[in-house]
Amino acid sequence: MPPRGRKRKASAPPRRPPARLDYRSRTDGAWYASRLVLQGGLLRVMFEDYIEEWDEWYNPDAGDLASSQGVAALRARFRVTSPPLDDARCGELRPGQRLCVICATSDGQRLYYDAVLDSVKRAAHGAVDGEERCACRFRVEWTEGPRSGDLEEVGIVDVCCVQNAPVQDPVLSEFLDFVTNSFGNGKGGATASSQATGATLAPGGEGGTAPV
Ligand SMILES: [Zn+2]
C-alpha cells in the first residue's frame, strides 16, 4: 500500500530489498508496506520509506516464538500487499468485503487498519487527464485499531483492497522454518513454509501442529 502515516521521513533513502509485504506493526497494530531481511540470525522488518529506527526485529530465541502459536502469530502479521482500490473498479466492491483503510486517529495520525465495507454511495465519476476518477463514498466499519466498531465514510484514496493470496516470501519462510525446527527439534510436523504457502494468513486459521 502507499506509504502514509506518522513514520514517514521524506529524506530517508529508498531501500529496495527484493520482497515486499504488508506487515502489522507491534507498535500500533497498523499495517505498513515492509521488506524483510535476515540479519545475524534475526528477522528484520523494514518499513518502506521510513527510517531505520522504526524497524522491528524478531529474535528466534525469544520466548514468544517458542511455540507453534507464537510462530502462527508472527506469520499472521504478514500478508501480500493490499493494492489501492482502482477508480474504475469501485463497482466490484461488495458489502462485507475486507478492506484496509486509512484511519484518522484521535491523536492526529493517519494509519491503515482493516475494515469491512458497509455500503457505497455512488457518484458520477469524473476524469483527470483522460483517467477515470471515482467520486463515490464508501461507508466502512473498522474491525481493528483504535476505532474498531466505528462507522465512517471515506473516499477512494483512503481505500486498499485486502488480498487472499498466500504469502510466499523466501525470507519469512526461512526464518519461520528455523524457529519451528529449533523449538521442535525438527519433530514439529509440517514446516512453517509449507503452511505459509498452503493457506491464507487469516487469524484463527491453521495454527500448525504443536510439538509434543
Ligand atoms: Zn466510484
146 and 178 both lie in a single domain: no
33 and 72 both lie in a single domain: yes
Residues with CB under 5 A from ligand 1 (ion): 90, 134, 136
Residue with cell 521488506: 35
pLDDT of residue 1: 55
Q: For the segment 150-190, what is each residue's pLDDT rounded down to a tens digit? A: 999 999 999 999 999 999 999 999 999 999 988 755 444 44
- Is 5 domain-assigned? no
Name which residue leads in pLDDT, 22 or 107: 22
- Is 10 domain-assigned? no
157 and 91 both lie in a single domain: yes
pLDDT of residue 184: 59
- Confidence grade of residue 40 (pLDDT, cut at 50, 70, 90): very high
pLDDT of residue 25: 97
Total domains present in the chain: 2
Ligand 1 geometric centre to CA of 176 (Å): 41
152 and 96 both lie in a single domain: yes
What CATH number is given to the structural domain containing 114? 2.30.30.140
Q: For the segment 45-99, what is each residue's pLDDT rounded down to a tens digit? A: 999 988 999 999 999 988 888 888 999 999 999 999 999 999 999 999 999 999 9
45 and 92 both lie in a single domain: no
Instruction: Determine the structural domain holding residue 121 and report its residue range.
Output: 87-161
Centre a 10 Å sphere on the Cβ of residue 62 and count the other Cβ atoms it contains.
Answer: 13
- Is 117 domain-assigned? yes
pLDDT of residue 194: 45
Ligand 1 geometric centre to CA of 139 (Å): 12
CA distances (Å), 14 to each of 9, 10, 20, 47, 49, in order? Answer: 11, 10, 13, 10, 6
Ligand 1 geometric centre to CA of 126 (Å): 9
- Is 27 domain-assigned? yes
- Is 212 domain-assigned? no
75 and 178 both lie in a single domain: yes
Residue 14: pLDDT over 50: no
Q: For the segment 107-143, what is each residue's pLDDT rounded down to a tens digit? A: 898 999 999 999 999 999 999 999 999 999 999 999 9
